[in-house]
Amino acid sequence: MDTMSVNGEAGPSATAVADARDATRAFLEALGQPGLAPATADTVVLVVSELATNALRHGGGTFTLRLTARPDTIEVAVDDASPQAPLMRTPDLNGGTGGFGWPMVNRLAHTTAVTPRPAGGKTVRAVLARAQ
């Protein structure tokens, strides 16, 4: 298997992020052999959860998730309607306003990129190693 992709769209529902995590788990299980180590799969699901949450919270309330598996990497791409790139900021330890997700994604991913979309909005990509 060289590549395998899945696309999904989510609106502002209470289950959108959970649905994205479920779709990611199903995608990873369908990859076949060699399968991902459980810790690697958990890392991919965590990155999807963070990027989907950020898209809902800061990106206009909807997102499109694309997952692509290659022999050595898994790419997570999330499109949203906002042109504003994620910001590194000091995490809020008391007020619950966040600041943890984007730095965590950057630590977990091999590479991250934010690309403006021609029709507006942006794509946030995180590329993770298949073996950790």
Average pLDDT over residues 116-128: 95
Residue 34, judged by CB atoms within 10 A of its CB (0-12, 13-18, 19+), counts as exposed
Q: Residue 93's pLDDT band (boundaries 50, 70, 90)?
A: low
pLDDT digits (tens, 9 = 90+) for 99-118: 678 999 999 999 999 999 99
Query: Cα dist. 130→36, 73, 88, 115 in Å?
Result: 7, 5, 26, 23
Nearest C-alpha neighbor of 116 from the set 84, 89, 76: 84
Q: Residue 12's pLDDT band (boundaries 50, 70, 90)?
A: low
Average pLDDT over residues 67-81: 93
**Per the structure block, which two tokens stand in for 104?**
């965590």
What are the phi and psi torsion angles at 96 (to 5°)? 70, 25
Of 2-6, 42-46, 104-108, 113-117, the one with minimum mean pLDDT is 2-6
Q: What is the pLDDT, as a whole number, of residue 96?
A: 67
Nearest C-alpha neighbor of 37 from the set 110, 109, 131: 131
**Chain-wide mean pLDDT for the chain?**
85
Three-class SS string for 49-104? HHHHHHHHHHCCCCEEEEEEECCCEEEEEEEECCCCCCCCCCCCCCCCCCCCHHHH
Q: What is the pLDDT, as a whole number, of residue 2?
A: 43
- Say if residue 75's pLDDT is above 90: yes
